[in-house]
Structure 1
Amino acid sequence: MRVFARLILLVLLSCCFVPGRSTLRARAVPTLSEWEPGLEGDAVSRSARSQRLLRPGAGFYARSVTVTLPDRVRYTLDGSTPTKASLLSEGEITIRKTTVLRYAAFNADGKRTSPVAGATYFIGEPRSRLLTLSIGIDPWRLFDPANGWFKPGYGADPGHWKQPGANWWTSREHPAHLDLIEPEGANNERSVFSGTTGFRMFGGMSRLHPQKSFSISARKKYGEKRIRHQLFGKNGADSFKFLVARNAGSDWNRSYIRDVLLTGLLQDESWDLERQAGRPVQVYINGEYWGIYHLREKINARFLSDRHPEVDKDKLDLIEHEHTVKQGSIGEYQKLRSFVESKDLSNPENYRRLGRMMDIDNYQRLQIAQTYFDNRDAGGNIRYWKPKTAGSRWRWILYDVDQGFGLHQEEGYLRNTLEFYTEANGPAWPNPPWSTLFQRKLLANTEYRRYFVNRTLDYLHTDFAPVTVAAAIERRVAALEHDMPRQLKRWKGKEKNWRIHLDRIRAFGENRPAHLREHLREYFGAGGDRMVTIVATPGGYIEVNKNIRVDEERYKGTYFQNFPLHLRTVAHNGFRLSEANSQVVKRSAGPEGYALDLNAERSYHFEAAFEPYDHPLIDQVIFNEVCPRSKASGDWVELYNRTEETVDLTGWRLTDHHHETRLPSARIDPGDYLVVCRDIARFRETYPFAHNVIEGLPFGIDKKREKLALYSSQGAYVNAIAFEVEEPDTAYVQALVLPGLDNTDVRHWALQSGEGTPCAANPEYLETAVISRQGYWLRIGVGVGVLLLVGLVRGMRGE
């Protein structure tokens, strides 16, 4: 009987067991004492480990500073590389003036046993509002009279203006210490990089200036393979292998801002041109102030592959000037040039064939920018590239534009640059015949000519509008104003000359649009002016000339009588063009858009109104589970069909904050699931029993903050979710608690550890069902147990 009683007790206990809800703890954020500045978790190189041993680190100090070094290391204070004969550390040294400290460990045999590390200590230096770039390098490498790269050396030809044979024409690289320190406020700076990099001379004729340009290379053999910091703002890249410190090129000792200003004017999304980001910096070399430079990205294969992840940096052709091969080969470009030389591009078929060989729109936008800038060096100083893959096309890079905006002429805005870029028999420099060939031949084509004129006018109303350019100029001037007196003193420049060139730039920005408009009218016989007003309501935009977008703002522009505008209305996902619009607008809604003829002498008004657009199955096909983090399966989303009919999702649109993709052939049966994954091989290996899976997620899901939406093939809204979580340190999913709940309410979602349950009920739903079923059996079990216990007691009493 006792055994029987124990059995009953075990049954009762098992019925009372309820599985605990999984808890997922986010990664703890280390305190300052636990996390050393500048290091990323465990990914610390030997170079970085050596770097952090200095206390305090690189930075600005009001007075002398005592630095703690590792014991028994050899160090230098002049930027040179430590050797076994360098000073021996006994723990602390005092730095009394701006100094680059470098050190390394050596064994008894004099062999270096650690990477070279170091830091720059700025003692009593004037405050700057610029990023500080400090170089520590063997002094002989730059300043030795015979071999120093900043010196002409003994092989230079002093009788030739280019000084051929001078040391600065070298292409070799030398290791150098680099510190990058961000200005964080009036009395606070932040070191964002400190380590060894490669140092090279950089530039063309600008190497003749006493303040010389140079480039920086991050390589594994020196330490860090990348400089990891958002050097060019929150929208710029956060990792760099190559950088250039540019001395302003032809604009040196003039305005210092032309190149970075002009490339920075191209702000509209329609500018499909590779171009360098840039910002001003103050440079020190071996502790000596070296002046203002502009930090720029370096144009090479890595620059291109960083911007185009689908491009293999080792499989592309990169050419500069007429036929200088920087990487790859020139054979494909020679075929392109031969085609342009030999074919009549006014023929539509030849023009289409050319469009398969080169990106015509990309080239045209380069020509528009150079024509507006009046860049007098663009004829020869150009770069162009093409991946070595089937179907790829040649593209051009906007580069080195500092000879624009009136560099050599006070009223440069008057120049007719159209004639300059279409000169068939120009001199060897600056506009030889080969450099104007493409533009001359392309302008024979009616379509190219129309878009060249209209897009130029587009930009004269937007990025090149006088008020826009004036604001950009003043931002650049303001960035340098505080530091310019020190720069001018360092290189014996005159503030008056600097101010003259700034005023010349301002005048160019103010006056260029009016004169360029007249050049266009005269060159192309464009006819009279026509005022055009374009308006788009929220929910879509109007595309003008397959170029700029008018989105929720009234746009006014003056165009030419003889050049029709190309207009196209585009509704955002979840909206459609309102039925109330005119026939003109409706005709513009097709894939080809609408040509608006401007022949009549009047003003033109074009308006498009958009309205919300919901699908009949709104919130019936829903997001049910999302996996933003799984090393095993990769990212995936699960959709659930609440309806009683099979739904065809072929061509439906799946979006996040920045991306959109169309689903391939896909269906969901009633009450069933569909998983859209990023890597179907990995997914199948992790979930071999998932039954309805497609590969159609080309973008990753943000692990901390994301918004996902589903639209029909026509853009009708179906469902959307958003979440924001503290990122866990293990695999997890976001799952809808119950399939009937409103999935747009964040309270109805649960964060679950593990790999999730794709193509099946969610963990929370399963757990709820189990608990419910256990409650049912618990009630039965308790009842049965009570009856048995009553019977047992009665039996023991002999009843």
Structure 2
Amino acid sequence: MNHPFASETPGRRVGVLALLVWGLAACHRAPEVSADEVEEESSPAVLTIDAMDNEQHVLRGGFPLDSGVFRVELYEGDLLLGEALLEEGRWSIPWQPGAGSESLEVVAYSMTGTELRTRLDFQRLRFTEPEGLYAAEALLTLPTAPDTTTRYTLDGTAPGPSSPVYNTPLVLLNRRGQPAPLSLIPTNPDTSPESWRWKPPATPPMLATVVRLQRFSGETPVGPAEARTYLIGQSASSLPVLSLVTDAENFFGHDQGIYVPGRMHDDSPEGTAGWGTGNYMQDGKEWERPVHVEWFEETGRPVFAQNAGVRIHGSGSAALPQKSLRLYAKEDYGPEWFQAAFFPDHPLTDFKRLLVRTSGQDQQSTKLKDCVLQGFLRQTSLALQACRPTVVFLNGEYWGLHEIRERYDEYYLASHHGLNRKHIVILEGDGLLDTGEAEDAVPYAELLAYVREHDLSAPEHFAHVEARIDVDDFIDYHVAQLYFGNEDWPDNNIKFWRYRGGSATAGAGDGRWRWLMYDLDAAFAGGPEVNSLGRLLRDERLGEPFVVLFRGLMKSPLFRERFIARFHWHLDNTFASERVLARLDAAVERLAPEMSQHIARWRYPESEESWRLEVQRLRDTVQGRPEALRRFLHEELGSP
């Protein structure tokens, strides 16, 4: 399928409104037929009821052009409602559901004397009730109130004073064959490297129905806007579903859209970094947009629905076609917390911020590394992000596989450890301030200076450092990174934190530095034989601030002995091949039913076959990794 604006020059602006107009026009085009559907063309003639214009109250359907149909009638019960208008294999007829509407039957008469029939039985839904995500064809009742007018939209836009007025139940049908214009908008420039350039969907994406409503007194909104998502006539997913609804301009507008190259790319198309430029590379409150969020369990049971804020999440990975998002619960939009049991067996149900992650750079290969590999470490005391694979819809269009995740920030650390978030300090990289006051970076800089100036083989010098970092946490963190062979670390993707509330507090509030495990997308990239330990000990290409603490501690016999013993314990337990493979295979089994649809939507990974090959490479690596690391421990540290 060619993008309708493929001939546009990079500098020319194409508004989302134009795309939506194109999409509506596409409703009247014959749908594209894939190779898999060719066999269906020779099947018996089929009469369909497949579209409803709820604003104009027109019901539509189709019939085979070669069937000789010359008249189509619509019945409600035994009552003939009228004869439909016929045009090139399509029929249409004015119709409004009434209070007693339960079913419709359409009868098509052929010149050969045969009749085609189809029947539609409606489920009754109420917007105000917590209905499930999955439903049969339905009549939806919206709430009304005296002295107000209820207006609605079905395309994701926020209802305004000129939006359609609700006065009769809305007819919700399966949207198969309808256009999905947002999926045809390029999400990185056509100058991006071919290996990660945006591609149009291979097949039409699955579509949900999104109903947004707003009550008005005259032209003044009354109360908050609300939204509900329904998958009509679709089978249930094997994963939870997250529905995001926002004005299309918030994601795809040239000036304000956070998901496209847009203005920022036009103003500076080259940029200075290898990932290029775009609106999606921006951060901060200025690039936060309103969004309505709904979360459904695998069964379709609704868990919560609320308004929130959304930003793009990630740095380099934001330049890839499918992008990670960050959700903010704020009083500006609605509830101040996301309150739901997102993660099974997780102690928390209140979250200030959530990630909707695409698996970063790994979205082109296994699409599961960071989520699954962090899960291997649950029996340690390391800070880890709870994670759950999730299917996402954006304004009703299937947006592919993501992961709902916790986000590392002061709210995460305060919630997990019962601390005052205002006393939490987070640094990143070589000691740059992420969260806290400017002076909060000084203790870490002083610690590194001490390590440079003192030989930690002396017990008193090691004790000085041990009083300032959680050594056990430091060891577990480094053992895990070395096992993973993470090539995008330690001079990237490194964060650490402390509580500056004082050293008298026990546990994580004791004031010592601890490390945060995240972004394992580059794990195992070099296979099982990568000597990550030797790299950390000797590689001069690693920036000195990133390795000075580890290399200094290795001079301490006390630390060295603890490190080696803990490493062997992890290889025998945490990273035992049978344990790791079982968890990896379970994760693959969860994703497998969704991969075909995801690959058709984003074209990355390249195919199901290539995905399974990448997964097998990962399996081969984890099988051989413990033996290789035992050898490196002996060669580098003299471990028996």
TM-score normalised to structure 2 length = 0.69
1:100 corresponds to 2:214: no
- Of the structure 1 ranges 88-97 and 496-505, higher mean CA displacement relative to structure 2 is found in 88-97
CA shift, 1:303, in A, is: 0.4
Q: Which amino acid aligns with 2:530?
A: R
Deviation by residue 1:694-721 (Cα, 9 ceiling, x = unmatched): xxxxxxxxxxxxxxxxxxxxxxxxxxxx
CA shift, 1:159, in A, is: 3.2
RMSD: 1.8
Partner of 1:76: 153
1:507 corresponds to 2:591: no
1:264 corresponds to 2:338: no
- Equivalent pairs: percent with the same residue? 29
1:59 corresponds to 2:133: yes
Contact 1:147–1:167 (Cα < 8 Å) also in 2: no
Contact 1:58–1:121 (Cα < 8 Å) also in 2: yes
1:418 corresponds to 2:533: yes
> Among 415, 424, 427, which residue is 1:319 paired with?
427
- Of the structure 1 ranges 221-230 and 201-210, higher mean CA displacement relative to structure 2 is found in 221-230
For 2:347 and 2:502, the matched residues in 1 are separated by 30
For 1:267 and 1:165, the matched residues in 2 are separated by 37
1:144 corresponds to 2:253: yes
Q: Secondary structure at the match of 2:220?
A: coil
* 1:241-640 equivalent positions in 2, closer than 5 A: 241-268=352-379, 271-309=380-418, 311-329=419-437, 330-379=441-490, 380-391=492-503, 392-406=511-525, 409=526, 412-423=527-538, 425-426=540-541, 431-492=542-603, 493-526=606-639, 560=640
Q: Secondary structure at the match of 1:105?
A: strand
For 1:425 and 1:256, the matched residues in 2 are separated by 32
Q: Secondary structure at the match of 1:263?
A: helix
For 1:201 and 1:93, the matched residues in 2 are separated by 34
For 1:236 and 1:496, the matched residues in 2 are separated by 38
CA shift, 1:197, in A, is: 1.3
Contact 1:69–1:89 (Cα < 8 Å) also in 2: no
Q: Which amino acid aligns with 1:84?
A: P
Contact 1:362–1:396 (Cα < 8 Å) also in 2: yes
For 1:267 and 1:155, the matched residues in 2 are separated by 41
Contact 1:228–1:240 (Cα < 8 Å) also in 2: yes
Q: Which amino acid aligns with 2:340?
A: H
Contact 1:55–1:67 (Cα < 8 Å) also in 2: no
Contact 1:180–1:191 (Cα < 8 Å) also in 2: yes
Deviation by residue 1:650-703 (Cα, 9 ceiling, x = unmatched): xxxxxxxxxxxxxxxxxxxxxxxxxxxxxxxxxxxxxxxxxxxxxxxxxxxxxx
> Among 176, 179, 194, which residue is 2:294 paired with?
179
Q: Which amino acid aligns with 1:175?
A: P
Distance 1:147 1:226, change over 3 A: closer
Contact 1:245–1:296 (Cα < 8 Å) also in 2: yes
**What is the aligned residue count?**
461
CA shift, 1:511, in A, is: 0.3
CA shift, 1:88, in A, is: 2.0
TM-score normalised to structure 1 length = 0.56
Q: Secondary structure at the match of 1:451?
A: helix
Q: Which runs of 5+ in 2 are unaligned?
A: 1-124, 176-207, 504-510
CA shift, 1:499, in A, is: 1.1
Q: Secondary structure at the match of 1:399?
A: coil
1:190 corresponds to 2:305: no
Contact 2:236–2:298 (Cα < 8 Å) also in 1: no
CA shift, 1:306, in A, is: 0.6
- Of the structure 1 ranges 212-221 and 91-100, higher mean CA displacement relative to structure 2 is found in 91-100
Q: Which amino acid aligns with 1:384?
A: F
Deviation by residue 1:592-645 (Cα, 9 ceiling, x = unmatched): xxxxxxxxxxxxxxxxxxxxxxxxxxxxxxxxxxxxxxxxxxxxxxxxxxxxxx
For 1:483 and 1:221, the matched residues in 2 are separated by 35
1:163 corresponds to 2:271: no
> Among 262, 265, 268, which residue is 1:153 paired with?
262
Q: Which runs of 5+ in 1 are unaligned?
A: 1-50, 527-559, 561-799
For 1:521 and 1:498, the matched residues in 2 are separated by 35
Q: Secondary structure at the match of 1:413?
A: coil
CA shift, 1:65, in A, is: 4.0
For 2:250 and 2:128, the matched residues in 1 are separated by 26
Deviation by residue 1:179-226 (Cα, 9 ceiling, x = unmatched): 100013xxxx21001121111110111101111100111222322222
Q: Which has the higher contact order (CA 8 A, sep 6+)?
A: 2
Contact 1:176–1:198 (Cα < 8 Å) also in 2: yes
Q: Secondary structure at the match of 1:273?
A: coil
Q: Name the one with the larger helix percent.
A: 2
